[in-house]
Structure 1
Amino acid sequence: TNSSAQIVNNESYVETHTSRMPEISLPKFDGNLTFWPQFRDTFMSLVHTSNALTTMEKFHYLATSLTDCALSVIQGIKLEENNYEIAWKAVTEAYNNKRVLASFYLN
């Protein structure tokens, strides 16, 4: 039928259209609290909550997105699949502290 042909054409359009979209690059986070909320929200949306990525891939993305002081938070954690949640928790505990953030923004 015509409507089923239209559905197939729409699906093809979506596949073709999305394949032309530019890649979204993850932001880097160096420990500067000004950029923590944006980094956290972006990382959680694109990586942490993704079902398409393995835990090891998530850990790799986390490790390569952190620099300077932020990277030092996870440097002692071995890059293994079982350690991703430990690493993410260490980063969020270091930078998602409401008192530290409030103090930072008030100064």
Structure 2
Amino acid sequence: GPAAVALSLFSAELTKKQRELRRVGVTLSIGRVAVALGREHAAALYHLSTNAVRYYSLPLLVIGGIQPSGLPAILLLLIVAPLADHRRLRPQLSLPV
């Protein structure tokens, strides 16, 4: 399924990065390269989510209403940036008295 495709693409990219690093003389464990690649992908998803929330949220929600099978992916895309910002900034919100 899609998870297998994503995993195979990730491993192919990981292998390519490892070869490039060795070619330039940098020796890192496969685990460290995998963590760095995962962080790179997470950062890209965050920036994609930020732009989607800022510029495309209403059109995406309309598309999700027309094509409900895409709604879970759209909602995931729209929730990544706010959740990451909340986790990073840890706002101290209290209820008004």
Identify which of structures 1 and 2 has the higher relative contact order when contacts are C-alpha pairs closer than 8 Å and 6+ apart. 1
TM-score, with normalisation over the residues of structure 1? 0.25
TM-score, with normalisation over the residues of structure 2? 0.27
